[in-house]
Chains A and B, each alone.
Chain A
Amino acid sequence: MQGIMSIKMQFRNIVGWVIGCGLSLSSMFAQGWAPAGGRSRAMGDASVTLADVWAYHHNPAANAGLKQFGAGISYENRFLLKELQTQSLALALPLKKGVLSFGAQVFGYTQFRSMKSGIGYSIALTDLISIGTQINVHQIRLGQGYGNVLKATGELGVLAKIKEGWNVGFSVFNISRTLLSKYQEDRLTTVMRLGTSYRFSEKLLVCAEAEKNVEFPLRGKVGLEYLPAKTVALRTGFSTNPIELNAGVGCSFKNLYFLDFGSAYTQLVGWSPNVSFTYRLK
């Protein structure tokens, strides 16, 4: 296990040039956690209250309101570097009571790969409040025979409605603070998000969120989604620590298929595009 850690250090050095002057690449080193989907990315990942199938990766409770089966796949590339790619999957299956969900995520390349997959359940307790939980299994694998490690984390989320069109949400990733290695007490990271969204009209949704990763400074994030037509969405967002601008577009086809594209831009290292395809049963 110590081998894994020292290789991880080396890996950090290798990609150090990417990071520039101490820029915190929170999702890259989040060790198992990253937001997913073109919609979230385009809105600055201020997505803790967004109630779509991608909620699996944002807030275990936010998909409690889904009435139909839905599934999505997404692909992300951080800073347009081939080593920093993420593929994600999310599925939501509404039951008689509550929603069962599945998700998976793969990040990295041959020399460093982290994988997560798991199952979640969410339920609306009343009209105003939903809760959800997940269990995910994480595997972190280093190349050249340095081995791998397999661990499980527990996630928790709450979504509450203040009034029509105004929600607040809260989620914790790795509430269990799972230990990855005894060496230097290395743990999978823990991320807490608290956010709100306000729907001005059918056409306009505005989100804001505070995200604290146990290892990085607090991030403030805002996102905006505007639908100039029923089938087209324009999105933009902004986040701090580091300063990031986001933008993207989404299209829906027959209200069944959704194609979303979004990208973040940071001044030092540039673009991080994300594209996702989502299917939702009518």
Chain B
Amino acid sequence: MRSLVLTIGLVVFCVASLFGQDKTEIIQQRIEFISERYQSENIDLTNIIEQLNYFYQNPINLNDTDGSELEDLGLLTTIQISDLIRHRKLFGKFITLYELQSLTFWDLETIQLVRPFVRVDDKLDNIHISLKEALRQGKFDVFLRFQPTVEKKAGYAKVSDSVRAASNNYYYGNSGHYYTRFRYTYKTNISIGFTGEKDPGEQFFKGAQKNGFDFYSAHAFFKGGKYIRGVALGDYQVQIGQGIGFWSSYAFGKTADIATSKRTAVPLKAYTSVDENRFMRGAAVDLGYKNFGLLLFASSKRTDGSTIADSSYTDLEFTSTLDLSGLHRTNSEMKRRNTLRENIAGANVNYRLGLFRIGASGIYQGYDKPFVKAEKLYNQFDFRGKNQLNFSTDYTFNFKNVCLFGEVAKAYNDSLSGKNSGWAMMHGALISLDSRVSFGLVYRDYQRDYFSFYNAGFSEGSNTQNERGLYSGIKMKFNSKWSMNGYVDLFKFPWMKYGVDAPSQGHEFLLQPIYKPNKIFEIYIRFRQQLRQKNSSQYAGAVTPIEDYIQRNYRLNLSYVISEAFTFKSRIEFLTINSHSKGFQKGMIMTQDLMWKPKSSPLDVTLRYALFDTDSYDTRIYSYENNALYVFAVPAYYYKGSRAYILLRYSFLRHCDLWVRYGYFLYNNRFIISSGAEQINGSRKSDLVVQLRISF
């Protein structure tokens, strides 16, 4: 489910810029485009929003950039960037943005897409920063967010302390979700920030959370010196190469846009999200000298896990499972909290010559107690022990209309693992066959005993492990109205996986014709087929056989900018699953969105109404939903019922924005929703978000 995509955002985005809509909207639409690519719940795109926000306010000077800022933007392919830089070398500085039309691999759509974020200026940027200027021009952002749980859930029932203390079914805290954030930024050069979050069910200034919020994050970040290119203190993110060896944040999976198969690593970034595990905590520095770069980082943070005392050695403890949910609501969750310390230290050295780049890294990761998960046949090659070393080397090479990229990594595990080391590699190419056609190819081979905790390599499975595959995709523009995207991926899992008791294989392919007769209307259809193999649920005997599991998605999507104020979006999606043991299952969803964003009014309104009908949870359908800034929701729609939400944004007092969003699922013939502590007695599940932002 980590794959999937869409290009509607791209088009919507262009439409937005056409009408000269405001910044928030341009960025919100861009984010929608990116979120669509994930197709999963609970993703956090805070960094991406901030990056776009920044470049909107401080457009990139095309006469000054070495390409790395354009990569950060995430809207351009490497070939387009190298095309621009080659053009500048050959013909000198750009005089106007209209010159972009003469670039071979830039079409009009691309130009419209990046236009709000770039400029042409013959004065070079001055990177000298004085403290006075930094204070005067810096920007402060304060966020306060409250998300109550509307319906009563079983875990919040009033029970006596003794019952609660003896059970894992009751939450200690209240059902509110609190979030607060403060951040100071000066261009992209300085960022200092603080974030606090309390999940529903966690205590606040009481019990296990005596310090208030359950999760705190703070950072101080500097970027932009000549030799000291970046420094991070506190919480930060590290990205290296293609995400095989080390990548602490998330990255795109397979998308209908082949360009996302190549990762563009931003070596060091401030961490401002609320995922309680996927970040580094400590210090890092990114040094540079001429064409060389050196990134050094160290992190030490506590993580959650179940700890068991070894019966034969009374003073020896080990951790059997890691808990990455970040939730601390019940006795068992609190007991797992911060039981393990994770230490990471790493270095990456890289050399850049023109558009050729090569890097090498070494990373150490260790725990203060052995991490020994229960051994099953399928997971026997996973990491077990205290220490791991990972070495990797990565490259990017641009030549004319071809961009080659890849990474090779090797992990050395502690002797407890049994298997001591494994290899992983991926190599890819993006080729512009024509100004209207680009083609991509990615080969990956991740061994079953290659294991790393922080990775984001191109893969079908959820980890950069136990997978071999070949992906090939194409993006074609036939004329100004018609275009087509497609890809095919063949993959093999040479060893068993969770729920798959044999080596397995499968494929995925997607085809998406797009018709866009003018700038305000777009319609596309998408067909996607995935075949994976899973354990059969019907069999006789002791061995579980695997069987083919074929999923097909059909989608019709329409978006129409009716006027400056009104946008109209419709979607019908149909999904089928076929397998021998479970038979034929289907699901469908129909959504209608209406956005009202008049230019002169301080109030925006977004509405959705949707009906869904799926045979089972297996045939659930994910759908992106608009939400308050920095709140991300791509919920799964399943069973039978309706969904509606209203989102209001009100801007006032020049510096303040208030978001209020109310939505609900109303299920048919279902009187109990969820189970355990999350159980709701009734057929309605609502959600409410109230968020205030003050920026000055």
Contacts and interface: CB of A to CB of B under 8 A. Distances in A.
Interface residues of A, number: 16
B488 interface: yes
Interface in B415-445: 433-434, 436-437, 439
Contact of B437 (A200, A238, A240, A243): A200
A240 B509 contact: yes
B490 A243 contact: yes
B472 A204 contact: no
Nearest to A245: B490
Contacts of B434: 200-201, 203-204
Instruction: List the 3 closest A-B pairs by CB distance, nearest first.
Output: A200-B434, A243-B507, A204-B434
Contact of B472 (A203, A206, A238, A240): A238
A243 B488 contact: yes
A204 B509 CA distance: 22
Interface in A186-218: 198, 200-201, 203-204, 206
A159 B470 CA distance: 34
A275 B382 CA distance: 44
B474 interface: yes
A236 interface: yes
Contacts of A267: 490, 492, 505, 507
Interface string A220-238: 0010101000000000101
B486 A222 contact: yes
Interface residues of B, number: 19
A198 B474 CA distance: 14
Interface string B451-486: 000000000000000000010101010100000001
Contacts of A236: 472
Nearest to A198: B478
A243 B548 CA distance: 14
Contacts, number: 40
B492 A243 contact: no
Contact of A245 (B433, B474, B478, B488): B488
Interface of A: 198, 200-201, 203-204, 206, 222, 224, 226, 236, 238, 240, 243, 245, 265, 267
Contacts of A245: 470, 472, 488, 490
B474 A224 contact: yes
Contacts of B472: 236, 238, 245
A270 B472 CA distance: 18
Given A200-B434, A206-B476, A236-B472, 19 more contacts: A200-B436, A200-B476, A203-B433, A203-B434, A204-B437, A222-B486, A224-B433, A224-B439, A238-B509, A240-B529, A243-B488, A243-B509, A245-B470, A245-B488, A245-B490, A265-B490, A267-B490, A267-B505, A267-B507
Contacts of A203: 433-434
A114 B316 CA distance: 73
Nearest to B507: A243
Given A243-B490, A245-B470, A267-B492, A226 B507 contact: no
Chain B interface SS verdict (over half): strand
B507 A204 contact: no
5 contacts: A198-B478, A200-B433, A204-B437, A236-B472, A238-B509
B174 to A, nearest CB: 52
Contacts of B476: 200, 206
B489 to A, nearest CB: 10
A236 B437 CA distance: 14
Contacts of B439: 224, 226
Contacts of A222: 486
Contacts of A265: 490
Contacts of B437: 200, 204, 206
A119 B106 CA distance: 49
A206 B436 CA distance: 12
A172 B260 CA distance: 41
A236 B486 CA distance: 14
Contact of B433 (A198, A226, A240): A226
B388 to A, nearest CB: 33
A201 B432 CA distance: 12
A206 B433 CA distance: 11
A204 B570 CA distance: 35
B433 A204 contact: yes
Nearest to A265: B490
Nearest to A220: B511
A243 B507 CA distance: 8
A43 to B, nearest CB: 13
A180 to B, nearest CB: 33
Contact of A238 (B436, B478, B488, B505): B488
Nearest to A266: B490
Contacts of B531: 243
Contacts of B507: 243, 267
Contacts of A243: 488, 490, 507, 509, 531
Interface string B500-534: 00000101010000000000000000000101000
Nearest to B492: A267
A204 B436 CA distance: 10
Contacts of B436: 200
A161 to B, nearest CB: 16
Contacts of B492: 267
B545 to A, nearest CB: 12
Contacts of B433: 200, 203-204, 224, 226
Contacts of A224: 433, 439, 474
A267 B537 CA distance: 24
A164 B476 CA distance: 18
Nearest to B476: A206
Nearest to B491: A267
B204 to A, nearest CB: 53
Nearest to B548: A21
Contacts of A238: 472, 488, 509
A109 B626 CA distance: 64
A224 B509 CA distance: 16
A153 B474 CA distance: 38
A123 B531 CA distance: 44
A222 B492 CA distance: 23
Nearest to A222: B486
Interface centre among B433, B492, B509 (most CB of A within 10 A): B433
A222 B529 CA distance: 16
Interface in B523-573: 529, 531
A265 B469 CA distance: 13
A204 B431 CA distance: 12
A203 B439 CA distance: 14
Interface string B126-141: 0000000000000000
A240 B528 CA distance: 12
Contacts of A200: 433-434, 436-437, 476
A265 B507 CA distance: 13
Contacts of A201: 434
A238 B439 CA distance: 13
A267 B472 CA distance: 15
A119 to B, nearest CB: 38
Interface string B94-128: 00000000000000000000000000000000000
